[in-house]
Amino acid sequence: MTLNIGVIGTGAIGREHIRRLSHKLLGSRVVAVTDINLEQAARVVQEEGITAEVYPDGHALVGAADVQAVVVTSWGPTHEEYVLAAIAAGKPVFCEKPLAVTAEGCKRIVEAEQAHGKRLVQVGFMRPYDAGYRQLKAVIDGQRIGEPLMIHAAHRNPSVGEGYTTDMAITDTLIHEINVLAWLLDDQYVSAQVVFPRKTSQALAHLKDPQVVLLETAKGVRIDVEIFVNCQYGYDIQCEVVGEHGIARLPEPSSVQLRSDAKLSNEILVDWKQRFLLAYDVELQAFIDDLKAGQLTGPSSWDGYIAAVTGDACVNAQRSGTIVPITLPTRPAFYG
Ligand code: NAP
């Protein structure tokens, strides 16, 4: 059986997902698209060589009889509205992060989904689907380095646009570490602090870059995450877990090692789309397969909610310069 999918938002990642859902993954086809820019949506349909109807807006797409599942890849502030519309229509929905731009918005989604009585939402946290993070988790869960004590992580981008603000280092960038590190440790955060090192001359005047976020977990693990979004040299994701009797590092993406010009070198990726290319494939294939099996198992709206609560604490910590306590609600049985 082929799952008919409608995609809301045909920008950068929307187009990537349309391509993989149409040409790469098994058991799905894109039958409907929309975007605030309808010309762009029509162009994507044409350029991707698919037969999909262009709907005037997200609500019309959600309501279309042949759309069995919805993928939301529009601008973040629109996510809540479209996810709630999909839940109201009883249709499963894969929503790119953030699930909603406020914790209250995420909570409204969690409540609507629970009132529906069955999981309908998967959030686009793709790192738990990345082969490297899965290997790292297997090492931790297998007790091969003993109990984790510390994590040193880094999230570096070559550069960011003018619209990128200091709090987006949390809400757009760190949000992936917030999700994946809690999953990796099977633990939850209890406090956050943000410190600002010397500012790079490569950042625009309004942006504090780099930043270091210090998180503490319920089990006492201390985490430092460097966010450096004008690092110039590449898109570089680092994660080192220090355990009681060993250290485990996230593997580097594979690349040919070069010996030339009197140098030994490996390429570093520059484009985020390349770094997690396979993880995006695997997360969406899981969404399709889980729907066919009758039960979603990927990152849930609850995961989106607690990431937003943690993100809010980190933004407060940025602004106040203090250590901000994080009180996370108890995970309902509904979310496993
Ligand atoms: P983008 O290139 O700006 O695409 C967003 C698209 O949504 C644009 O075409 C935008 O149109 C459209 N849009 C705005 N308002 C809309 C509305 N009311 N209804 C329908 N479409 C609307 O951004 P992007 O990089 O693809 O990011 C989209 C989302 O995915 C963001 O939430 C982002 O955080 C997330 N994302 C996740 C990852 C990941 O690693 N998981 C990576 C990248 C992005 P205009 O341009 O005309 O406003």
pLDDT in tens, 70-97: 999 999 999 999 999 999 999 999 999 9
CA of 136 to the centre of ligand 1 (A): 30
* Structure token pair of residue 211: 């930043």
- Find out if CATH 3.50.50.60 is the number for domain 3-123: no
CA of 38 to the centre of ligand 1 (A): 14
- What pLDDT, on the 0 to 100 scale, is given for residue 28? 98
Q: What is the CATH number of domain 128-275+307-335?
A: 3.30.360.10
- What pLDDT, on the 0 to 100 scale, is given for residue 78? 97
Q: How many CB atoms lie within 10 A of CB 112?
A: 18
* Structure token pair of residue 95: 């929503």
311 φ, ψ (degrees, to nearest 5) = -60, -40
Q: What residues in the chain have per-residue pLDDT under 50?
A: none
SS3 249: strand
Domains of the chain, by residue range, sit at 3-123, 128-275+307-335
- What pLDDT, on the 0 to 100 scale, is given for residue 1? 84
- What pLDDT, on the 0 to 100 scale, is given for residue 2? 96
Report H helices in 216-321. 272-275, 277-293, 301-320
| C-alpha closest to that of 128 among 304, 307, 283 | 283
Please say whether the dihedral angle defined by the alpha carbons of residues 94, 99, 105 and 107, taken in this order, is positive or negative: positive
Mutate to test the pocket of ligand 1, among 18, 36, 59 (most ligand atoms within 8 A of CB): 36
Contact residues for 251 (Cβ-Cβ < 8 A; gap 6+): 132, 135, 136
- What's the pTM value of the predicted model, to 2 decimals? 0.95
CA of 70 to the centre of ligand 1 (A): 15
Question: Partners of 336 in the beta sheet?
Answer: none
Ligand 1 pocket, Cβ-based, cut-off 6 angstroms? 8-14, 34-37, 40, 58, 73-76, 78, 96-97, 124, 126, 172
The answer to whether the beta carbons of residues 210 and 204 sit under 8 Å apart is no
- What pLDDT, on the 0 to 100 scale, is given for residue 245? 97
Q: Do domains 3-123 and 128-275+307-335 have the same CATH topology?
A: no
The answer to whether the beta carbons of residues 234 and 156 sit under 8 Å apart is yes
CA of 35 to the centre of ligand 1 (A): 9
Task: Give, rounded to a whole angstrom, the gap between the first and last alpha carbons of the chain.
Answer: 28
Q: Which atom of ligand 1 is nearest to the CA of 14?
A: 26
Report d(CA 281, CA 126) in Å as an integer.
9
